[in-house]
A and B are shown apart, each in its own frame.
Chain A
Amino acid sequence: MIIPDSLNGALALSFIDFFLSIVMISGIGFILALFPLLNKLGKIDEDKLRQGQH
C-alpha cells in the first residue's frame, strides 16, 4: 500500500486523486477538442455502411 491507512493518508489520497482526475479528464477534453481535425481525412458514407450489414 502506497498510502498509509490513516486520516492523513485519506486526505493525501483524496487530494492527489481529485487533482489527477481533473488533469486527466482535461487531457481527454483536449484530445476531443482536436477531433474536428479528423474530418480533414475524409468523410464516411453512412448509407454505404448501413448497406453492408453482416
Chain B
Amino acid sequence: MLEQFISFLGALEEQTGLSHFWWGNLVMIAIGATMIYLAVSKRYEPLLLVGIGFSCIISNVPGSDLILPGGLFNYAYQGVALLIIPPLIFFGVGAMTDFGPMIANPKLVVLGAAAHLGIFVALIGAKALGFTINEAGAIGIIGGADGPMAIFVTMKLAPHLLPQVSVAAYSYMALMPLIQPPVMKLLTSREERLIVMKQNRQVSRLERIAFPILIGVLVNLFFPPVAPLITMLMLGNLFKEVLVVDRLAKTAANGLMNVIIIILTIAIGSTMAADKFLTFKTVEIVVLGLIAFLFGTGSGVIGAKIMNLFLKDKINPLLGSAGIASVPIAARVAHLVALRENKENYLIYHAMGPNLAGVFGTAISGGIMLALLGVK
C-alpha cells in the first residue's frame, strides 16, 4: 500500500513541473522579482518592468503552458515576432509627441545621428567577440536607445537575441540619469554647460501637419526596411496635429498604447527562459550595450562641440547627449545637468529637438544596416 502510494506520488510529480526545476529557473525568478521591486520601490520604468518581471517569473516556472505554442504568452510573443507590436507602439508615441522643437531648430537635427556612434562601437565590439555580423548589428542597435526600434531590428537580424537585446535596451534607458551625466561632465567645461540657448521660433499648424506627411513619404522612399515604424509614428502624430480627430489621437496615445504595452511586456518577459538567458553571451551583450550608451552620449556631446566651431550662436553641448533618442529621458537628463550649473537655464525644450531627431537617427541607422546586410 505504502509502495503504491509512493509510486503514485512519483507519477504525480512527473506530471508537474517540479521534476524539471533547476537553479537557472530560480535565478530567473529572482531577476523577475528584482524587476518588479525596482519598478515598485524605485519607480524604474514601472510601465515596462512590472509586466516583464511577472512574465519572466511565470515563464521560468517549469510546466507552465503559457509560453508554449497555443499559450497566451506565446500569442503575445507572436505579436512581436510578426512585427505588429513595435509599429503600434510608435503609433501611440507619435500621437503624444510634439515635434515642434525639432521643426523649430533644424540645425540641431544632425545631433540625432552624431549621438549614434555607440551603435557602431558595440557592433564592432560584438563582431570582435565572435558574434555573427547579424547578431552584432542587433547588439549594436541597443545604442540607439529606442526600445521598439531595437526590437524591430533584432527580430529581423537575430530574433534569438530578443530577450537580451530588449532587456539591455530598456534597462539602460531607465538608467540613463545615472549613465549619462558623468560622460557629459567629463567632455564639457563649466562654461560650455552654462551656455543659454536662444528661444525657438513658433511653429505653425501648417508646418506641424506637413511634417508627418513629408517624413512618411521620405522614409518609405529611402528606408523601406524600417518604414513600418516611422510611418506609424507619423500617422499617430498626424492624428494629433490635424486637431479634427482628437478621439483617435487620444485613443492611440492612451487606451491603445496601454494595451500594446501590456502585450509587449508579456512578450519580452516570456522570452527570458533560463536555458536561453543564462549564458555568457548575455553578459557580453549587457556589457556591449553599456559601452554603446556611453559612446553614444559622448559622441553626441562631441558632435555638438564640433558644431560650435562653425556656429556664430554657440549651442550648449549638453544638447548633443539628447541625440541618443530615448524620448524624453535623454532630453530630461540634459536639462537637469544644465540646471545644476544654472538654476535658470531651462534646456528641456531645446533638448527635445535632438532627442526626437535621435529617433529618426536610430531608424535611419537601422534601415541602412538592414539594407547593407541584405535583410528586408
Using CB atoms and an 8 Å cutoff, list the residues of chain A in contact with chain B. 1-7, 9-11, 13-18, 20-22, 24-26, 28-33, 35-36, 38-39, 41-44, 46, 49-50, 52-54
Contact = CB atoms under 8 A, between A and B. Distances in A.
Given A18-B117, A38-B207, A41-B206, A49 B242 contact: yes
Determine which residue in A13, A17, A53 has the highest number of CB atoms from chain B within 10 A of its CB, and name it: A17
A10 B247 CA distance: 46
A25 B201 CA distance: 21
Interface stretch (B26-34, B132-140, B332-340): B132-140
B261 interface: no
Contacts of B197: none
Contacts of A42: 206
Interface string B345-376: 00000000000010011001100110011100
Nearest to A15: B120
B196 interface: no
A20 B15 CA distance: 57
**What is the interface of chain A mostly: helix, strand, loop, or mixed?**
helix
Contacts of A21: 113, 116, 361, 364-365, 368
Contacts of A50: 243-244
Interface in B97-116: 102-103, 106-107, 109-110, 112-114, 116
Contact of A39 (B126, B207, B214, B244): B207
Interface of B, helix, strand, loop or mixed by DSSP = helix
Nearest to B215: A28
Given A2-B373, A24-B364, A46 B207 contact: no
Contact of B123 (A13, A26, A49, A54): A13
A7 B128 contact: yes
B120 A53 contact: no
B369 A32 contact: no
B80 to A, nearest CB: 24
Interface string B210-247: 11001100100010000000000000000000111111
Nearest to A29: B109
Given A24-B222, A25-B109, A53-B247, A17 B372 contact: yes
Contacts of A33: 106-107
